[in-house]
Amino acid sequence: MTDTPETKPFEPVIIGFTCNWCSYRAADMAGTARMKYAPNVRLIRLMCSGRLDPTFVFKAFAGGADAVLISGCHPGDCHYATQNYKAMRRFYLMKRVLAQLGIESGRLKLLWASAAEGAIFAKEINSFVEQVRALGPLHWNTNSPEILDKTVKEEVIA
Amino acid sequence: MTERIGVYVCHCGTNIAGVVDVAAVSKWAGEALAGRGVVIARDYKFMCSSLGQELIQKDIKEQKLTRVVVAACSPHLHERTFRNACKGAGLNPYLCELVSIREQDSWVHTDKVAATAKAKAIISGGVERVIHHEALEPLRVPIHPATMVVGGGIAGIQAALEIADAGFPVYLVEREPSIGGHMAQFDKTFPTLDCSACILTPKMVDVGNHPNITLMTYSEVQKVDGYVGNFAVTVKKKARYIKEADCTGCGICWEKCPWKFVDEVFEAGMAKRKAVYTPFPQAVPKYPVIDDQTCVYFSKGTCKACQKFCPTNAIDFEQKDELLTVQVGNIVLATGFDLFDVNRIPQYGYKRLANVYTNLEFERLCNAAGPTGGNIVLRDGKTVPKAVGIVHCVGSRDQNYNPYCSSVCCMQSLKFAHLVHERTGADVYNFYIDIRTPSKGYEEFYQRLLEEGTHFVRGKVAEITDTARTPEEEGKLVIQVEDTLIGKQRRIPVDMVVLSAGLQARHDAKDVAKMFGIACSAENWYTERHPKLDPVATMTEGIYIAGCAQGPKDIPASVAQGAAAAARILGKIQQKEIALEPVRASINEEQCSGCRICNSLCPFSAILFHEDKMVSEVNPALCQGCGTCVAACPAGAISGTGFSNEQILSQIEGLLLLNIPVKEAVA
């Protein structure tokens, strides 16, 4: 870290997975309605939260993400009937695995958002970013060259 | 890098450029991502304009691009636009990726530096993803020309007639012995006060006589197999105990049947019917049914009065339920609504206080073919009420029951008020929260009621009681309400109360939705593909919804939806085949261990297990592309086109800038 926390707050990088039908549309809705939220989340669209392979989450953490957001349709509203329940099962499984890897459970969040819930989507992202900010950077291995690279690169694109 | 990638950053006027430094983003993409195959990066005012599209097309040809990344608005808006642009220039449309830097970036962030950085990361993710895109072709499946309409209310009738009139076969399935639905039970329709039966029964007769319509009444769908264009639907045709070929509908059987039972369905408990019956005189089809739950022959083994008197020998007590399987290309679900159960609000006294009626009971009371011949009288069958209270929003707009507005109750309650005025001259009190009259001619009807002298009391009724506090209240029903316009508690004595119970999804809507593979809202209304722009299609190709099954609505809206669903289906039938998005899962037989984990995960039963080879296989026409099986396969044998592991994992790398060496990023 080149800047001290006093001069510049820690800006977490968060990877978010959304389903195509509800939560991605919630993000669209937040955009259309010009609701403001923190710019720390970078979204990946899947067709369904059920597509979420736990590998994706681990890959994101391994690649330097400070947190991961998983979002899908509300239980009962899944475009594919019940697949979001499968995402939910994996979410709880992943939390346990992450805990064993020493990653705080607060770095993984599951968010149900319908296509009409842009406001909820924006609000939840803000609270998640604050939560991760409070946890600080993911000290996966601070001395690894990848993490040092990440810091440099994040600053360069800014 | 073998791919030649073009990156196109849209200004969207100032929508994006006002927050994101698009020129800097484009320049960065051209330089930092050059090592990832980006050969050209441009920014342009409006990429979706024909000039913007031509820019891309020109580059595809001149720069020999093999991949295109457009950074603009949401793919839900313009993905098709840019895919078509690529197709026009000879590039497979699925080699184009649209990433959103508007809805997900410029519109939701104010910090320009952070928004610009995010745009760069998003494009980096898109570039990494697009490298792994494959050239795809849409799946083409033929469409069976027949359609099944489930539900014979006005929405289903309209849909069936539209399709049949266009010359295509329709199977109309109805659970009750006759089509007609709720509309057949009504007396008048708002706001024109047309007689409901007068406008409905000609359509019912048309359905009954239509050469293209196969009517399956007293029948229920049991099972749905197949997929858009090729559904195989199993329908249980319940035993009528009547030989339809021989029955003339003469009515001697129900005249002679000695047993009477309360008709809870059509007459809403207000009148009796025989064990052999048609629900109402204009029923379509004309054949009666023998209800084996009430018929004494089925419980005691004797009677058979109907059989003795039937002039055509059409009664057959040996008939059994039949299972019929029909092939159809598309399905319309028009399964209607249930009425809110007013017993859930005990303080309104329904059943406990004789002269508290539901709206459906009151419809029957007003109906000339109903139990009183259309005379509005109390339960004693003769007393004409001098004062009537009509309670709006019963069970609707109430966090304790249904939070939504049932949409029809205001107009229905106004109609009731008018009918009471017209037929009894009684004082009418309407208790409302808000009056909602938002359609053509509705507000005018409300004005008419105001002029007729209906008393409108703004307030939610607290209680209906027969406990009198004053001599005037003796023998009356007293409505306790806070009149919020004068800010006072009032007790209004009346002789009759009508509860305008709200509309609810059918009690079995969730099971039906599951059977047809469509989604329901939290209140169990069927979910449309898009609430504004695609209101009758569902997320499941080939399944359409119409009428109150989708949400509370009145007759004009139900008819419009029935016709709209028919129009959508006719368009599909005319095309003879349908192109499906090629986002599908497929299983590599070599890698499949036959564990069958995927089999039970698929909600569409799209995965077949070959017992002989001990491997699973995905039926691409059934697969909807959710990808759950892809994520679950422990052997990694399933791949999902359009959303493969390589694509997603690379996108993660791109978003986290793992794809760029530090020195290039700095440069």
Q: Which residue of A has its CA nearest to B634?
A: A53
Q: Which residue of A has its CA nearest to B511?
A: A81
Per the domain annotation, does A128 fall within a domain?
yes
**What pLDDT is attached to residue B667?**
44
Per the domain annotation, does A3 fall within a domain?
no
**What pLDDT is attached to residue A85?**
93
Radius of gyration of chain B (CA): 31
**What pLDDT is attached to residue B284?**
95
Amino acid at B59: D
What residues have CB less than 8 Å from B557, skipping those under 6 apart?
Answer: none
Per the domain annotation, does A29 fall within a domain?
yes
Q: Do A60 and B125 touch (CB under 8 A)?
A: no
Q: Where are the alpha helices (DSSP H) in B106-250?
A: 112-131, 154-165, 196-209
Size of interface A-B (CB pairs under 8 A): 171
| Residue B585: both structure tokens together | 């899962």
At A62, is the secondary structure helix, strand, or coil?
Answer: helix
Q: Which residue of A has its CA nearest to B32?
A: A157
Q: Do B603 and A44 touch (CB under 8 A)?
A: no
- Enumerate the CATH 3.40.50 domain ranges in chain B, comma separated: 5-136+647-666
Say which of B76, B122, B521 has its CB closest to residue A42. B122
Q: Cα angle vertex B608, ends B603, B611, to 5°?
A: 140
The closest of A11, A75, A21 to A46, measured between CA atoms, is: A21
The closest of B178, B666, B648 to A42, measured between CA atoms, is: B648
Say which of A35, A60, A154 has its CB closest to residue B108. A35
Domain B585-641 fold is: Alpha-Beta Plaits (3.30.70)
Angle of helix B359-366 versus helix B409-424 axis, rounded to 10: 40
Check whether the bond before B191 is cis (ω within 30° of 0).
yes
Query: What CATH class is the domain B149-231+327-336+506-580?
Result: alpha beta
Say which of A27, A34, A42 has its CB closest to residue B118. A42
Per the domain annotation, does A7 fall within a domain?
no
Q: Do B626 and A80 touch (CB under 8 A)?
A: yes
Question: B168 with B145: CB under 8 angstroms?
Answer: yes
Q: Min CA distance, B660 vs chain A (Å)?
A: 8
Radius of gyration of chain A (CA): 16
**What pLDDT is attached to residue A6?**
56
Give the range of the structural domain holding residue A139, as residue numbers without chain letter: 14-157
Q: Which residue of B has its CA nearest to A68?
A: B652
Q: Min CA distance, A93 vs chain B (Å)?
A: 13
Residue with tokens 């939806």: B561
DSSP-assigned letter for residue B528: P
Please tell me the distance from the alpha carbon of residue B567 to that of residue B142, in angstroms, as a whole number. 18
Cα of first residue to Cα of last residue in chain A, in angstroms, is 15
What residues have CB less than 8 Å from B137, skipping those under 6 apart?
Answer: B582
Reported pTM? 0.78
Domain count for chain A, please give it. Answer: 1
Q: Which residue of B has its CA nearest to A67?
A: B656
Determine whether domain B239-320 maps to CATH 3.30.70.
yes
Q: Do A46 and B643 touch (CB under 8 A)?
A: yes
Q: Min CA distance, B516 vs chain A (Å)?
A: 10
**What pLDDT is attached to residue B662?**
75
Task: List, for chain B, all residue ranges whose pLDDT scores fall below the cut of 50.
Answer: 667
Query: What CATH class is the domain B340-503?
Result: alpha beta
Question: B125 with A15: CB under 8 angstroms?
Answer: no
Q: Min CA distance, A38 vs chain B (Å)?
A: 7
Q: What burial letters (b/e) apply to B128-160, b meaning 16+ CB within 10 Å? A: bbbbbbeebeebebebbbbbbbbbbbbbbbbbb
Mean pLDDT calculated for residue range A32-42: 95
Per the domain annotation, does A45 fall within a domain?
yes
Q: Do B631 and A81 touch (CB under 8 A)?
A: no
Count of CB atoms situated within 10 Å of the CB of B46: 15
Question: B80 with B108: CB under 8 angstroms?
Answer: no
**What pLDDT is attached to residue A1?**
45
Per the domain annotation, does A1 fall within a domain?
no
Amino acid at B371: P
Question: B18 with B1: CB under 8 angstroms?
Answer: no
Q: What is the CATH number of the domain that holds A87?
A: 3.40.50
Say which of B115, B117, B627 has its CB closest to residue A50. B627
Per the domain annotation, does A8 fall within a domain?
no
Using a 10 angstrom Cβ sphere, with 0-12 exposed, 13-18 middle and 19 or more buried, the burial of residue B661 is middle
Q: Cα angle vertex B304, ends B303, B310, to 5°?
A: 145
Per the domain annotation, does A125 fall within a domain?
yes
The closest of A92, A52, A100 to A72, measured between CA atoms, is: A52
Determine whether domain B5-136+647-666 maps to CATH 3.40.50.
yes
The closest of B171, B162, B167 to B231, measured between CA atoms, is: B171
Q: State the DSSP string of B77-121.
A: HHHHHHHHHHHHTTS-GGGEEEEESIIIIITT---HHHHHHHHHH
Residues of A in contact with B640 (CB under 8 A): 47, 51
pLDDT band with cut points at 50, 70 and 90 for residue A115: confident
Please tell me the distance from the alpha carbon of residue B660 to that of residue B30, in angstroms, as a whole number. 13
What residues have CB less than 8 Å from B254, skipping those under 6 apart?
Answer: B273, B274, B276, B277, B278, B288, B306
DSSP-assigned letter for residue B661: -
Give the pLDDT confidence of B201-249 residue by residue, as tens digits: 999 999 999 999 999 999 999 999 888 899 999 999 999 999 999 999 9
Question: B6 with B40: CB under 8 angstroms?
Answer: yes
